[in-house]
A and B are shown apart, each in its own frame.
Chain A
Amino acid sequence: MDAHRAVDAAWKRESATIIAGLMRVVHDVGLAEELAQDALVAALEQWPASGVPENPGAWLTTIAKRRAVDHIRRSQRLDRKHEQLARELGQQPEPAQDDVLRLMFISCHPVLPTEARVALTLRVIGGLTADEIARAFLVSEPRIAQRIAAAKRVLAEAQVPFELPDASELAPRLSSVLEVIYLIFNEGYSATSGDDLMRPALCLEALRLGRLLAELAPDEAEVHGLVALMEIQASRSAARTGPAGEPVQLHEQNRGRWDRLLIRRGFTAMLRAREIGGTPGPYVLQAAIAVCHAQARTPEDTDWAQIAALYEALARLLPTPVVQLNRAVAVGFAEGPLAGLALVDALTADPKLRDYHLLPGVRGDLLVRLGRHAEAQLEFERAASLAKNAAESAFLRRRADEIGLAAAPGPTVGQAAEEFLERADLNAATIRSYRQTLRRLRLTVGDQLPLASLTADHVAHVFATAWDDASAKTWNRHLSAVRTFGAWASLHHLAAGIERRAETRSRTEAISSPQLDALLRRPGLPLRERTLWRLLYDSAAGVTAVLALNLEDLDLDDRRARAGGSRVSWRAETARLLSDLIAGRARGPLFLSDRRPGPSRTPADADICPDTGRRRLSYERAEYLFKQATKAVDPAGNGYTLRQLKRGA
């Protein structure tokens, strides 16, 4: 058993170098990793009996290379070149460190989805098993295995070369590597789900990857920036959780528990980044912020003005809502809670932040400092219900409880919603739909909000942040739900600020034959409209082409016409209508407007009927008439367009 663990430790230390060395020969991550795994299996078989060899890394490398040679010999392409390669492989010097860097660029390649990059990097660079990765990310092992297998396949298909990126490509490729490392770190540092606030093993993996990358790519300021950021954040690991695993906020942390060693390493990395110079990138800026915190002996010593300025610079590079939120926190300390609150309130309209628990959390903090305790309490409650991490949620709940204001008399929004949904007179589908609407309402305003305080403004905010991009149908469904809820709760004004949205049919949605028949049966419908609509439906021709038809173009016997470059044809019913419409005319436009052109309008001769002097029916007019005629049958109330008459459109 102990031997197995020794093999595992040696493997994790060496696997990246072994796989990278094999990549030079086999040019395929999947194959290289498989061959390296063969060596691992051999070690697991032999070491328990023989003992751990003197140099486990060299042992594993030798076996892996032997397997690679075997593989090449076995493969179909047994030619001189490969023989030569196989021979060289035996004598190759130790693989350059650059090889590991190349391997990192491959495992973080942009052709892969982010999740796959993370899994593959931990696998081939960190030497972690699929099971270890799965446990770290709280997903099932088969899923990680699949993710890794898919990633290898994609890389093989894309034939990603085993090279360092060109100068022109370097920046985006490097930023992809940095992103993967920081993602791994963050998943460890502030676990997004699960019960524990931190998963230190992931932080360690990320730190090691970062430190390694800094050695491999020493001239990149952002790499050192990332390392500095991670070292300094990691320095607070011990201080940021309390005895029961609850989070301790930065300004309440015991700074004596900050790891000075890691802080110093962070400062050193930061110095290296500064020496390289250039415009600071996002990681250098974030590291600079971390440095500001690390330099403050007490929370009061924190240079918030500097931090706010750094966040402002960061927000210019990364204008994400989360960065803006952090900036608001800094401004809240630098310029006072009111200034911070103004920035936070500007963010509440951002749909991307609607489920982000830190937004109400930060608002709650600022409100407490402003003495607005009742509002703060609600915000903490809301933050607690949005937080996915159990420790964090409990912490936020406690902050709400600490304010300790007695609940206002009367039911809360949460209670009212539950009661409303328990009504016996609704069917299951309706309840499901209402529940969806109310769930969003409750998440946005908070379950603890007294029902009596729920206003039309709250509801308008919910609609604006949650459903502004939704289809009109969805919007209207939520609107009816809120109206029904309002009526039930005797809050009739509740949806006052929200308009129903027109449910426009998409252009491609064609009108069905029964719909057309119903339209044409309408009493008093003019012959021209009847004919035009039927012809458009029959022929499936373009509206412009049909309106451009002249009598001279028609072949009434064969029921077809040449219109510009296209052919138009029709059926018996349309033929009857057409002969009625033509009524002895011989030339000029087929479809005529009702009126003669005004004196100021001088249409082209071709658009004038030589017999009556009336002009050709315009698209606008035809469209208008059709819309008017179909308004009553369109559920959205807009009326249909002529294009929708085109069959099979």
Chain B
Amino acid sequence: MRYLMMSKNTDTPPDENLYTEMGKFIEELSASGVLLATGGLEPSGIRMTSSGGEITVTDGPFAEAKEAVGGFALVEVRSKEEAIEIGRRFLRIVGDGESVMQQVFGP
């Protein structure tokens, strides 16, 4: 099963140490065949809304920067517990913050 993990932006800017730790973590997850895709997301973005058939396109930044997703990882795991275990390790590296994980169905 696959999970999409999304981490929301934090106030604290990443330091050198975090980059190294995260690099190691990503390498390990790739090596063990768990990590399928990952990436960081630009803080600003494009917002599209449809209302009454009318589509509005708005450029970022978002009103609530903390609500924006800063990065994602698509993992292939044996169980929900394994996804949680990976989430734990991720959070331990990035420190305080919030992550959301959702199982991916399909394609």
Chain A residues in the interface with B (C-beta under 8 A): 2, 5-6, 8-10, 12-13, 52, 54-56, 97, 201, 204, 207-212, 215-216, 238, 257-261, 265
Contacts and interface: CB of A to CB of B under 8 A. Distances in A.
B81 A215 contact: no
Contacts of A54: 92
Given A6-B84, A13-B85, A261 B78 contact: no
7 contacts: A8-B81, A9-B84, A52-B88, A56-B85, A204-B76, A209-B33, A211-B32
Given A9-B78, A9-B81, A12-B78, A261 B36 contact: yes
Given A5-B81, A9-B82, A97 B31 contact: yes
A211 B85 contact: no
A6 B31 contact: no
B31 A211 contact: yes
A184 B30 CA distance: 21
B85 A212 contact: no
Contacts of A8: 79, 81
Interface in B13-35: 30-34
| Chain A CB within 10 A, most for which of B31, B84, B92 | B31
Q: What's the dominant secondary structure at chain A's contact region?
A: helix
Given A6-B81, A10-B85, 17 more contacts: A5-B81, A6-B84, A6-B85, A9-B82, A13-B82, A97-B31, A204-B78, A211-B30, A211-B32, A212-B33, A215-B30, A215-B31, A216-B31, A238-B106, A259-B107, A261-B107, A265-B36
A265 B30 CA distance: 12
Interface in B34-56: 34, 36-37
A208 B77 CA distance: 10
B38 to A, nearest CB: 12
Contacts of B6: none
B74 interface: yes
Contact of A208 (B33, B84, B88, B89): B33
Contacts of B36: 261, 265
Contacts of A12: 78, 82
Interface string B84-107: 110011001000000000000011
Contacts of A207: 33, 76
Contacts of B34: 208
A12 B32 CA distance: 11
Contacts of A10: 85
Contacts of A52: 85, 88
Q: What's the dominant secondary structure at chain B's contact region?
A: mixed
A9 B31 contact: no
Contacts of A211: 30-33
A569 B90 CA distance: 91
A260 to B, nearest CB: 7
A97 B30 CA distance: 13
Minimum-distance CB pairs A-B, first 4? A211-B33, A9-B81, A208-B33, A215-B31
A208 B82 contact: no
Interface of B: 30-34, 36-37, 74, 76, 78-79, 81-82, 84-85, 88-89, 92, 106-107
Contacts of A5: 79, 81
A9 B79 contact: yes
B84 to A, nearest CB: 7
A208 B107 CA distance: 20
A445 to B, nearest CB: 43
Contacts of A259: 107
B81 A261 contact: no
Contacts of A216: 31
A608 B85 CA distance: 97
B3 to A, nearest CB: 12
A8 B81 CA distance: 8
Contacts of B37: 261
A201 B85 contact: no
Contacts of B92: 54
Contacts of A201: 78
A208 B32 CA distance: 6
Nearest to B92: A54
Contact of B107 (A2, A6, A210, A238): A238
Contacts of B88: 52
B22 to A, nearest CB: 16
B107 A257 contact: yes
A6 B80 CA distance: 9
Contacts of B30: 211, 215
A261 B74 contact: yes
Contacts of B32: 13, 208, 211-212
A644 to B, nearest CB: 64
Contacts of A209: 33
A258 B106 CA distance: 10
A208 B37 CA distance: 15
A2 B82 CA distance: 12
B89 to A, nearest CB: 8
Contacts of B78: 9, 12, 201, 204
Nearest to B106: A238
A204 B1 CA distance: 9
A9 B37 CA distance: 21
| Chain A CB within 10 A, most for which of B36, B76, B81, B92 | B81
A253 to B, nearest CB: 13
A207 B33 CA distance: 7
Nearest to B83: A9
A9 B85 contact: yes
Nearest to A207: B33
Nearest to A8: B81
Contacts of B84: 6, 9
Contacts of A13: 32, 82, 85
A272 B79 CA distance: 30
Contacts of B107: 238, 257-261
B93 to A, nearest CB: 11
Contacts of A9: 78-79, 81-82, 84-85
Nearest to B81: A9
A253 B95 CA distance: 45
B104 to A, nearest CB: 10
B107 to A, nearest CB: 5
A6 B82 CA distance: 7
A126 to B, nearest CB: 9
A56 B37 CA distance: 24
A212 B35 CA distance: 11
Contact of A212 (B31, B81, B89): B31
Contacts of A208: 32-34, 76
Contacts of B33: 207-212
A212 B27 CA distance: 11
